[in-house]
Structure 1
Amino acid sequence: MQRVCLALPTMRPCPETIAELAEEAAYAVATFGVEVHLLVLDTTDAAAFAENAAAAAALEPAPGVVVHHLGNERQREFFRRVAERTGAADPELLVDMMLPRAAAYGSCVNRLFLGAAALGCTSVHLRNDDADFQVVDGRKAFPIHHELLSIGRPAGEAAAVVSRSDLDPADADRPVMLVSGSFIGELNVDISEIHELDPAVYRDLVRLWTPSVWPDEDRDAMVEVSFKGAGSEPFSTDESVLGVPDIWDVYMCNIALDHRAYEALPLLPSVETIGCDYALLHALVHSRTPGVVHNRHIVNYYTPERRTGTGFINYQLRFVKFLLSMLYLYPVYGGMIDLGRGLLDERHELKVGPILDLVRGSVDWDRAGNEHCLDVVDRSYRKLGGKYAELADVVAGRRQQLLDEAQEDAERWAVLIEAWAPMVAAARAEGLGTAPEVAAG
């Protein structure tokens, strides 16, 4: 029986999300006859963890669904065993990159990847704790419906289960490595208030994440589509397209990935940096790997803690670090585009060597671009005034630290890429242990 991982990283109380994902898991079992491991990796404090654990324990037993809810201690124990099993010279560094003491968007997904490997799953189906499913005629539009129709199958077979195929016939034997929907609702980066306050400042800030070598009109066009997902069009009837996806149509908040993708390349282990979890998608898209894009979009919403006090400062710093990360990521992405299908081996799977070379080559990039970035950030925030002027003071006080961390993130990613294959093998050999806090079925 096919075993898949429905995966949720969380750092906040989310009992409703856990209940919804259990419904999606039961739907997958009933519709596709798979075994679903609902894996919740929880880095909340004790009170919030107890709330999430109670929600998991209260789930109705469902045949074919196994629920795993792991907190900080169990995760750290597992990743320490994995790191030590690899024989790495510095296992504590690997543990720190997997489970740092601060929010890390790439690391939390990397943990799910290794958890799925330990569980023997063939695919990971990623969800967020700040999103809802759309509901049509009283039924939830579960993305796993399209995901399990195609993920891991030869693209030629997947052509029979999509609404439209743009597949190159020469790619019929290549596996479908990703299936993705998008989102509707609020921007997936919480900067809409900036646009409300001053559209020109919004444009200047968002322009900082566009490739600096592009012509101005192309950078402005990228600003117009950035962070908006599928807009506001609600789901009505299923649509799905097979082919090589556009990078703008794939989102880590609503995606399924085949194990042959995520077991090859980890995400950036950057701390307190949004957007660092998309590198694998760039590798798959730029290598022209077949994928499916569908319209069972999730509904994105903002959680309140990111808009006031220290929560506001912390989130906006993550946005600033995202802007700085582009100096090191765009040379990698550009190299991926140049290599194209040269990123794939004879089995149509990602070759790690060329990607690792690109990452290593980016770490000594001239910092002048990031110096300019921080200058624009400072000027923009001060123009907005109020809490944004206070934010500008925080950024200015951490200027050198932010510049250093952006480079260190690229260096740490290279270390993790080199260690990733042994870590995957170690996780598979280690297993996740006995059924955790709650098991159903």
Structure 2
Amino acid sequence: MRSICLTLPTNRPCAATIAAVGEEAAYAVEHFDNDVHLVILDSCAPPVYAEHAEAVRRLPTSPRLTVHHLDEARQRDFLQRVTERTGNAKPELLRDLLLPDGLSYGACTDRAFLLAAALGCESVHRRDSDSRYQSAHGRPVFPVHHELRSLGKRAADAARGVDETTLATEHLDRRVAMVGSSFIGELSVDLGGILAADPEVYHDVVSLWAPAHWPAEQKRQLVDESFRGAGTRPFERDHSLLTLVDPMRVDMCNISFHGVHEQVPLPPARDTIGSDYFLLHLVRNAGLPGVLHNRHIVNFHTSERRTGPGFLAYQTRFAKFLLSMLHFHFIYDGMAESGDSLLDDRGHIRASAIAALARESAPLDRRENVQRLDALDSAYRRLGGRYTTVADQLATRRERLLDEARSDIEDFAVLTEAWGELMSAARQTPLSPPPSGRPEVHG
């Protein structure tokens, strides 16, 4: 019987989401022949952690469902034992990349990948704390339904269980590496206030994540499509498509991976939104099959990122995302050009090829990013009000932000080069005994 890892990283109060994901985990064991490890990676302060622990105690029970609720101390202890087991010359650096002093969307999911390996799970299924499930006929619509029908199967076999196939014949012998869907509701990036205030400024800001050389019309098409997910239309009936999945059609709140997450990590950039989307591009460019379904999750934004320090922090993360694209567009282009050569003779991603592209991108001329910061400064000052405060903050951090864009991609190369030995070590590393008074296992 296979084991899967359903994971929920969180740094905010989300007891209701924990309850909902627990229901999805119970659905998975009731309807499919597998064991489920629900891994909650909790970076919240002790009072909120205690609320979450109470939510965990109320989750459904099953002999085939185990819940692991890990605070950062537990995660750090696990990572210390994993990194020391690797024999890597710089275990402290690897730990800092995997559990940095600061927010990292990529690093939190990388920790889930390593924990899944330690638990013997063959796939990872990620959800987010600022989202909820749709319902149909009074019942939640769980994405895991489609994920477990196809993930890890030979594509030719998975084709029998989907509604439509557009996969080329040469890809049918490969295994389904990813199953995912998108979201409905609010924009995935919290820029709705800019769109409401000034659509032209919104266009100027969002177009900054496009390659600088794109023509104006191509940038406008990207802006029209960006961050909107599947729109607002609610779920009506199931549909699934076996294909090479377009990264613009899936979201990391509604994703699952088989195999590929054990071969290449996500970029561990700090305080940078979008740093956890890399594997979506890699799966497509390497010609790995995926399934796109329509059990979209409902996205919403919590209040802390819209006022005061939270607003400034979020807008800085967005700026760092824009600067990161100088390097990622180069890597995406390189991956697209490499195609099948990204795979070894077993059909696995050659991590060395990805690390090489990351290192090659690091010394790119940063004038493009200087222009991005200039354009972002102008746009925010046109908006005025609190956006002027954002512009002032970005101006004071200008050189640091430019330097961090390069160091972040160098960190990604370091982690990618060590990922194979980290995964091997994780498979041999048990989770630590639970701290007194905090039972780890519930099932």
Identify the residue that residue 232 of structure 2 maps to in structure 1.
Answer: 232
Identify the residue that residue 344 of structure 1 maps to in structure 2.
Answer: 343
Separation in structure 2 between the aligned mates of residue 248 and residue 437 of structure 1, nearest angstrom:
40
Check conservation: 1:57, 1:437, Cα contact below 8 A: no
| 1:64 maps to amino acid | R
Check conservation: 2:135, 2:141, Cα contact below 8 A: yes
Over residues 184-240 of structure 1, what are the superposed CA-to-partner deviations in whole Å (9 max), with x where a residue is unaligned? 000000001001111111101111001112222111100110000000111011000
| 1:272 maps to amino acid | D
Give the superposition deviation at 1:439. Answer: 2.6
Task: Compute the RMSD of aligned alpha carbons.
Answer: 1.0
Identify the residue that residue 135 of structure 2 maps to in structure 1.
Answer: 135
Separation in structure 2 between the aligned mates of residue 150 and residue 437 of structure 1, nearest angstrom:
33
Check conservation: 1:60, 1:440, Cα contact below 8 A: no
1:5-154 aligned at under 5 Å gives the runs 5-154=5-154
Identify the residue that residue 418 of structure 1 maps to in structure 2.
Answer: 417
Identify the residue that residue 194 of structure 2 maps to in structure 1.
Answer: 194
- Per mean C-alpha deviation after superposition, the further-off stretch among 247-256 and 232-241 is 247-256
Separation in structure 1 between the aligned mates of residue 356 and residue 92 of structure 2, nearest angstrom:
24
Identify the residue that residue 269 of structure 2 maps to in structure 1.
Answer: 270
1:353 equivalent in alignment to 2:352:
yes
Give the superposition deviation at 1:440. Answer: 3.2
Separation in structure 1 between the aligned mates of residue 284 and residue 214 of structure 2, nearest angstrom:
20
Separation in structure 2 between the aligned mates of residue 192 and residue 185 of structure 1, nearest angstrom:
11
Separation in structure 1 between the aligned mates of residue 427 and residue 433 of structure 2, nearest angstrom:
14
1:325 equivalent in alignment to 2:327:
no
| 2:209 maps to amino acid | W
| 1:417 maps to amino acid | T
Give the superposition deviation at 1:52. Answer: 0.8
Separation in structure 1 between the aligned mates of residue 159 and residue 61 of structure 2, nearest angstrom:
35
Separation in structure 2 between the aligned mates of residue 183 and residue 378 of structure 1, nearest angstrom:
30
Identify the residue that residue 377 of structure 1 maps to in structure 2.
Answer: 376
Identify the residue that residue 156 of structure 1 maps to in structure 2.
Answer: 156
Separation in structure 1 between the aligned mates of residue 101 and residue 346 of structure 2, nearest angstrom:
38
Check conservation: 1:53, 1:437, Cα contact below 8 A: no
Identify the residue that residue 216 of structure 1 maps to in structure 2.
Answer: 216
Give the superposition deviation at 1:244. Answer: 1.0
Separation in structure 1 between the aligned mates of residue 213 and residue 247 of structure 2, nearest angstrom:
19
Q: Does the residue aligned with 2:439 lie in a helix, a strand or coil?
A: coil
Separation in structure 1 between the aligned mates of residue 213 and residue 393 of structure 2, nearest angstrom:
29
Q: Does the residue aligned with 1:315 lie in a helix, a strand or coil?
A: helix
| 2:174 maps to amino acid | R
Check conservation: 1:187, 1:227, Cα contact below 8 A: yes
Give the superposition deviation at 1:401. Answer: 0.8
Give the superposition deviation at 1:434. Answer: 4.6
Check conservation: 2:352, 2:416, Cα contact below 8 A: no
Give the superposition deviation at 1:437. Answer: 2.8
Separation in structure 2 between the aligned mates of residue 172 and residue 197 of structure 1, nearest angstrom:
48
Over residues 28-60 of structure 1, what are the superposed CA-to-partner deviations in whole Å (9 max), with x where a residue is unaligned? 111012100000011111111111111112223
- Per mean C-alpha deviation after superposition, the further-off stretch among 212-221 and 155-164 is 212-221
Separation in structure 1 between the aligned mates of residue 282 and residue 190 of structure 2, nearest angstrom:
26
Separation in structure 1 between the aligned mates of residue 249 and residue 36 of structure 2, nearest angstrom:
26
Separation in structure 1 between the aligned mates of residue 253 and residue 23 of structure 2, nearest angstrom:
18
Separation in structure 1 between the aligned mates of residue 426 and residue 358 of structure 2, nearest angstrom:
24
Separation in structure 2 between the aligned mates of residue 354 and residue 101 of structure 1, nearest angstrom:
29
Check conservation: 1:9, 1:40, Cα contact below 8 A: yes
Q: Does the residue aligned with 1:35 lie in a helix, a strand or coil?
A: strand
Q: Does the residue aligned with 1:263 lie in a helix, a strand or coil?
A: helix
Over residues 157-199 of structure 1, what are the superposed CA-to-partner deviations in whole Å (9 max), with x where a residue is unaligned? 0001001111222222100000001000000000010011111
Separation in structure 2 between the aligned mates of residue 328 and residue 35 of structure 1, nearest angstrom:
39
Separation in structure 2 between the aligned mates of residue 99 and residue 127 of structure 1, nearest angstrom:
19
| 2:441 maps to amino acid | A
1:279 equivalent in alignment to 2:278:
yes
Gaps of 5+ in 2: none
Q: Does the residue aligned with 1:95 lie in a helix, a strand or coil?
A: helix
Separation in structure 2 between the aligned mates of residue 438 and residue 414 of structure 1, nearest angstrom:
33
Give the superposition deviation at 1:438. Answer: 4.0
Check conservation: 2:77, 2:432, Cα contact below 8 A: no
The alignment's TM-score, normalised by the length of structure 1, stands at 0.98
Q: Extract structure 1 runs of 4+ deviating beyond 4 A.
A: none
1:165 equivalent in alignment to 2:180:
no
Over residues 51-103 of structure 1, what are the superposed CA-to-partner deviations in whole Å (9 max), with x where a residue is unaligned? 11111122232231100000011111110111111111221111111111111
Give the superposition deviation at 1:345. Answer: 1.6
Separation in structure 1 between the aligned mates of residue 106 and residue 295 of structure 2, nearest angstrom:
24
| 1:415 maps to amino acid | V
Q: Does the residue aligned with 2:102 lie in a helix, a strand or coil?
A: coil
Separation in structure 2 between the aligned mates of residue 437 and residue 167 of structure 1, nearest angstrom:
46
Check conservation: 1:7, 1:124, Cα contact below 8 A: yes
Separation in structure 1 between the aligned mates of residue 343 and residue 243 of structure 2, nearest angstrom:
16
Q: Does the residue aligned with 1:208 lie in a helix, a strand or coil?
A: helix
- Per mean C-alpha deviation after superposition, the further-off stretch among 316-325 and 51-60 is 51-60
Identify the residue that residue 437 of structure 1 maps to in structure 2.
Answer: 439
